[in-house]
Structure 1
Amino acid sequence: MDPHNQKPFEVHLVTSTDSPEFTLLSRTLTQTSIIGLDAEWKPVRTHQTSFPAVSLLQIACQLSGGDSVVFLLDLLSLPLSSLWEPLREMLVSPDILKLGFRFKQDLVYLSSTFCSHGCEPGFDKVEPYLDITSVYNQLQPKKQGRIASKQTKSLSTICGEVLAISLSKELQCSDWSCRPLTEEQIMYAAMDAHCLLEIFKAFREKVAKEGELATGLSYPGANLGLKELFKKDDTCDKVLRTQFCDALAIVQATTCSDVTQVITSVGGRTQKSSCWITMPMDEFLLNIVKKHGDRILLKESDRKPKTSKKKRKKPLPINGNLKENHLDKFDEWQGISPWDPSVGGDGYPRFLCDVMVEGLAKHLRCVGIDAAIPYSKKPEPRELIMQVQKENRVLLTRDAKLLRHDYLANNQIYKVKSLLKNEQLLEIIETFQLKISEDKLMSRCTKCNGMFIQKPLTTEEAVEAAKGFQKIPNCLFNKNLEFWKCMDCHQLYWEGTQYHNAVQKFVDICKLSD
């Protein structure tokens, strides 16, 4: 799919039930058959005794003309008691296919958030539901005679492969409880939900092209009257087991318009419930749901934060001494850095950023620090250890499992505490007392970590160096710019607007102008 052919979509921030945005949301939900769901919350540390509170709920709606609109429900401003019943019915409406990316965790947190505001019992089911991971697996080419392996890729990776767009996840761990939300946060949250619709659209086009689903497979008996329906033995048995009060509620629900109040009787008690009166799915979508649809069903055990029940292993003796609090020694940096001249180093700091902090590696390179990444995309712990020891580096990670390996001394590994890249950069600079100067900014190749040539290239030299390798925009030829080449991967850089913006960014982050 060509990213340039993607249509723009509307984004509405809903902060009040009396707002035009909420009215538009109510009307849109009666006219859509497909929605994408996502949620955001303030990042929390592990081992919490309660679930984090959801701050934002994203609902992306597919409109009949192919356009889409995304509603961002600000759960810190909206009265949750007013939202609870409509959302419950939306999540189980048989006329709306719900799309999500590993949405079960979101549902657990969402249910907990509403329960904490007195909206018992929260949410326990989403149906019909289709996970985008499952959609992605269906989009993969089938190999003859072999069962395709199930892929567990990130949403960003799936977007890159299916939609040919880059979905940045840099704001995923930002503080979603702060108000007002920034423009970047709003667009990030909206895109996370909107891309679910676009990925499903690609899947729907594939199904239509391959003619995978036969027509005329709507619900059996959908067009039959009650008399004909009761002639079928199995159907008759099911209908007779349905309570009359439930049947009455169904009849009443089909006659109300938009969002109304339906009176039902449960166990002799009369209660009111709101309902979204939606348009039924078209036959093609209905068949997709019948073949590929799923549901999320929360158990009672899902409603409580899981605590580890593993028995703590007894500390093992090392060289006759009992080893205690093995992981505690990595909470703070200890010992001498392997590049320290006193232990045979050259004095230049070198790091190895594992896959969990690869973004930090690029930030370190931008301020002139040697920051490598693993040789392979999915390295084994042994590979990381060998690379660290071979190149005299300090391993930076957020993976607590790596801290259990005794092959790394306490001056060869450091657990990064911060979540955001800018904060991680400042943490490493402060922890290792790195000296950052403005003349070192953008002095390394952000692509491969290589150093630039000492002397800049002229335009003519850059054109010659770029032949068959890299295209230089024609607009740069008359600007008398200096070009720099990476000595390792031969990537060319020039001091354009992007370069100056990057320099200013890191001047501000590192407070070099103070």
Structure 2
Amino acid sequence: MRCRVIVLEKGQFIAMEDGFVRNLEELWNKKQLKQALPCDWELQARAIRLLSSSQGSTMDPFIHMYQLETADRQHLISAVKGLQKKDRYQEAAHLAKKMHLQPYLNFRELCTPLLLQDKLNVVEGYVSNSPELQQELVRLLDSWCHPDFNLGNLLQQYPGLQQVKHERMHPKSLSKFVTRLLDTYKIDSELCPNVKQYRALGAMKFLFYQKYGEKAMDDENWNDHISVAVGNNPWLQEQLVMMLCSYRDVTAAARWARRLKMPHDRLPSAVLWILSNQRQEDGSEEEESAMAYSSREDCYQLPVPLDQVIFIDNLADLEMHLPAMLQPGCTLGVDMEWRPSFGVLSQPRVALVQVARRDRVLLLDLPRLSEEEEEESGRQPGQRRLARATNVEPRAHDETAQLQASCSGRCEAKNSVAEEGRLLGLMRRLFSSGDVLKLGYDVGGDIQYLLTSYPMLKPALQQSSRVLDIAVLQKQVERLLSAQPVAGGSGAEVARGATATRTTEERGLSLLVLQTLGKALDKRQQLSEWERRPLTTAQLLYAASDAYCLLEVYDGLLQKAKAAKLSVNLEKCMVGKKVQKPRHSDPAPDDERLWKKIGTEVPATLPAANLTRPPESCSREPMSVRNFAVVCDSMLQGLGRYLRCLGVDVHILENIEEHRKAAEIARAERRVILTCGLPYQTLRSQVGEDCCYFVDCKEKAKDQAKAVLRHFNVQVTPSDIFSRCKVCNGNRYMKISGADMARVAVTRRELLRATAGQDDPEPGYGVVLGDDLADEAQGCVEPGGVRWSPTVAPTQDFAGKSWRGVVALPGPEKTMSRASESWSSRTPRYYPACFVDNQELDANTASFADGTALLAEAIPPGVLETVQLFYCCVTCGKVFWEGSHFSRILSQFADVLSTESDTSTFYES
């Protein structure tokens, strides 16, 4: 019974020694100790009291040893609430889940602090087995997306809460999380009206940008999409009018206010004035919408007459027209259209499938055709399902049908089509016919979206055959042309020059049509409402042209290859062709696994060259890291920081910035976009394939950085490492000796104490650094925390603490001594441009000439006493010093470092 006394009387010792409890649990698992420790209610009650003072890691052993699952529920609830009072919400949630106490606790009181600390996995685990709590979680997050939500008022309810992630409370981040929860828990989107409203507002902003910024949408399409986005929401209607006024289109604002019948007390005065003076313009919008479509002569024109563009919305017409398109030896252009989602919660389905032959174009109304198929199967149960239930093959007793099937292969095909459904059978013939070549641009992405929209078509898509991606063919032809020497420079230089003159205006297929046929596609109808019936003449012409132009582009590319006497391998451009994987390959990402499920290869629309590691011998010309600039989207912040460590100029998008911001930055600053997932398709179409790289999100950030460097053949030398600040991307540093830095640190702390009115700024004031790059952050100070260099032994008072830098107050002028620049433990062999030689530091304000504060207070005294030279980022004021991180980066990236020209390092200067 001695162990019993140790466990219950030495609770504080247990709280400090996790290993002791683990060893005790191992002893308890022996039968003798189990019998010596009977779990009566008094013993359980005393064990429960110890939970509130023990470490979270000792909770499971306590529960196991003392069989707390059988303890009194009120004692357990009291223990959970005790943990909540001590701001130990994670342990409280863990204990409540283990003891199944969720129905007896206030969900919002327990989980709100966890959400504020961005501990989403803990909350998801808490609600994992309760549909009611899952819905409550969605409601809570949705309430935080309300326009009137005030985060400050919520934080006042938790004054002692630390490590609050303010950036995660932005509606953009919350809406993404809610969208994922809706899909995971299969919850109706009607439960989150605020998220839907925020997404609709984002769609409105995009539509305004398309119309007033890019001028890429006509009034008719824009009005259709705005009507869908606004709906009957009064708040969105008011935002619409205000946004129109901000774009100085007050007349349109008045027209929309009249159409939506908005109350006059919610309208700006300028709109009221127009409404009172122009009451006779009610029909102006209808007249404007009814204007005849005028095609642009400078754009590609459909060669076939409009009466040969056949719109098919019933299965009978499809059976009549489609077989004529599938004659052996025919070449077809295939394209698809769907209503743009603009980020709303509901994902639109494929609304139109275009199939073009040399003399006609079929437009398949797939929503209506699928509905008719379902209606037929509903009215006629069919022999097939009955036969499947009785294990009897349909038509088995129909001797006449058997005789016909044995005599005619065509009748057998018809029977199989009838059994599986007319639409599925016809689509199978379209995609699986080996006698017909199907052309598409990024057709793999279209087929993937078609599969998502209509899972019933999966058998047809599984057997796809002879589907050629024009985008892959274009890339192959351009690669072969670039390998040929031409007058006036290499083929690669000529190809890049021809493309660069026009990539600023046209993208994707439109650019290819321009380069091949001399005229670009008219893309004004691309973002139109494709589920509207009937389609407008402009939509019919655009849809038919989008598919038909593939035939002419295909001919043009082959003629170009033939004129240059190039041998083109069309089999490599086929989507349905099985690819032979290398012997050593990385795990397939999600997109690759998806295509494995439907039985085809990775589509060309996904950058298959990026899915496996690029070969060591890159065809690109070597590029210095100083000439390489990228923009990373918000999903690849870890990759961006690694590249900064290697000296790459990296612009990292904030979590609240839209993906289209990356395209704007790339075009303005001539950067390469690094992205992953679905945004790749959109961004590549805006900047071109050479300026957009698909990153494998399944790899670690370190491996992603290596893949990027190999793909673009970027040469990194040891002198490039740490030449940029991985916090702010700055590339200018100042050297300061340890003695000077100690004086600056004293000045900074005095200024902070005077500013905050405290006796002394306490260590740990601020937010602890996250774990995103914690494993390689040693030897440097980062915003929100300090990672200790293993070469430095921090004092006990500061071990494990975190610091935060605050902007300093201005003071009298006094310059720092130049001794810092002359000090060095090594003899400098060169003086890189990243070190400033004329930047002065004001010692009284501890700030640079431009007002940037030097965050010297973040350096622990133990480091100040040991390190003799510090490196200060002039851009953001962060302080770095040499530690083991440099050698670790050298070893981690040794296979991509170039040491031929220079073996010097950042510190040897």
Q: Which has the larger radius of gyration?
A: 2
Higher relative contact order structure (alpha carbons within 8 Å, sequence separation ≥ 6): 1
- Shorter-chain TM-score bucket reads 0.3 to 0.5
Give the structure with the higher percent helix. Answer: 2
Q: When the two structures are superposed, what TM-score results if normalisation uses the length of structure 2?
A: 0.27
